[in-house]
Amino acid sequence: MKKGLVDIVIGTHRVLSKDVGYKDLGLLIIDEEQRFGVTHKEKIKKLRENIDVLTLTATPIPRTLHMSLIGIRDMSVLEEAPMDRMPIQTYVMEYNDEMVREAIERELARGGQVYYVYNRVENIADVALRVQKLVPDARVSYAHGQMNEHQLEDIMYDFINGDIDVLVSTTIIETGLDIANANTMIIQDADRFGLSQLYQLRGRVGRSNRMAYAFLLYQRDKMLKEVAEKRLAAIREFTDLGSGFKIAMRDLEIRGAGNLLGESQSGHMAAVGYDLYCKMLNEAVSQLKGEKEEADYATTIDLDIDAFIPESYIKNEYQKLDIYKRIATIETEEEMDDMTEELIDRFGDLPKKVQQLLHIAALKSLAHSAYITAIEQKGKDYKFILYEKANLDPAKIPALLKKYGNNMIFKAEAVPYFLYQKKGRSGKEKGGENVLQMLREIIESIRELRLD
């Protein structure tokens, strides 16, 4: 390339080589980010310190996704599918010759083509021969990365032109192919593939307005490993268009977030533990951003109120745990309203116990902002335990006590607390809503004591 005559360079990993230089590089776009290793990404950093980098991927690796979630990188998600696209019907099952034959014949009957993924070069020809025997009338061929360049190119052109009905191939078809007529994919030994790889492979079909099918097969009578079973369950669950982000999130849960200090792109920090590592990392990121460091304390609420998700409302245990987890992160009234709408949309009208669970979650966040570490109920007594380093104005405490009369007292002990003694019947007798509203008013009053 001649100096000063090229504005845009499109290339492979070759553009990261030491002998390739740039006069004034301002923007770097990385497509299929999941195919780049940490070493390549470190080279990218060294190209220029203040370069703008945009990475594109349907399934970000756990390390990259985690960096986005904790604020090291900005993230933008495209959620709308192309017009007329339909979700891919996905099936996970044991290998069965008859099922394979029916799937291929059904696709060929509507004039379509089939991908058959088998990722072992040494006997891929035997697999292609077996498929040919199952469907004698089909034109079957195979392709893999160790083929002669021109031979591989001819086979791919034949498939694109419709001269091949079934293409038995390795994972070389994982990215870059957009063949609208190929709408059935069969993946043999699917339990050997990674979650993002399965998602990328499945994305080779369903690229038109036709219904597409993906069959993920594993050996008959094989006992799947726990991680493999989770991967297959995830790929079967997330079939909607644009599910790549959800797939990546599940991959993050299964494999861990990797190590930002080294080259591991997945896995956990064995030395300090994953949760502690994430906590330390969040603190470091906030500090570098100049954000105010939050006080290090948790808030708990122990009330005599029924607040849980009944089995009759959400039967699936995994879904129930996921909802519990998301409810625990509610911080604002708006988030509580959004969760309420989602639950009603997915599972129907909210039982009273679920409503109270949502209100307690919002109450917990409000209490945390008021330097309250715990709210404990014993009969008609409600104890509001304060953070020992709470930045409150002592001069305002008498006015708060006067507001609640003889019902409220304050103890300035090593761990200070307010004690509210409710008159009349207990909260559970009159209904949880009354108690929760009363607690909200008290917490807001305590919050007004803040100096910051």
Nearest CA-CA partner of 438 in 387, 377, 389: 377
Token pair recorded at residue 139: 């034109």
Token pair recorded at residue 182: 């190929």
Q: What is residue 272's predicted lDDT score, i.e. its pLDDT?
A: 43
Q: What is residue 46's predicted lDDT score, i.e. its pLDDT?
A: 65
Q: Rg for the chain (alpha carbons), in Å?
A: 29
Nearest CA-CA partner of 230 in 326, 92, 116, 120: 92
Q: What is residue 124's predicted lDDT score, i.e. its pLDDT?
A: 94
CA 439 to chain centre: 35
CB 443 within 8 A of CB 369: no
Q: What's 89-239's CATH class?
A: alpha beta
In which residue are the tokens 């039982």 written? Answer: 351
Q: What is residue 204's predicted lDDT score, i.e. its pLDDT?
A: 87
**pTM, whole model, 2 decimals?**
0.52
Q: Delimit the domains of the chain by residue range.
A: 89-239, 300-447
Q: What is residue 79's predicted lDDT score, i.e. its pLDDT?
A: 62
Q: What is residue 195's predicted lDDT score, i.e. its pLDDT?
A: 76
Query: Pairing state of beta strands 140-143 and 166-169?
Result: parallel
Q: What is residue 262's predicted lDDT score, i.e. its pLDDT?
A: 47
Q: What is residue 85's predicted lDDT score, i.e. its pLDDT?
A: 75
Q: What is residue 280's predicted lDDT score, i.e. its pLDDT?
A: 63
Q: Which CATH superfamily is domain 300-447 in?
A: Transcription-repair-coupling factor, D7 domain (3.90.1150.50)
Q: What is residue 246's predicted lDDT score, i.e. its pLDDT?
A: 61
Mean pLDDT per 10-residue interval, the chain, length 452 residues: 65 75 77 67 63 73 57 64 78 92 95 95 94 95 91 92 95 83 94 82 86 91 78 75 61 53 45 52 67 70 86 83 82 86 89 90 89 89 89 89 89 88 58 79 91 78
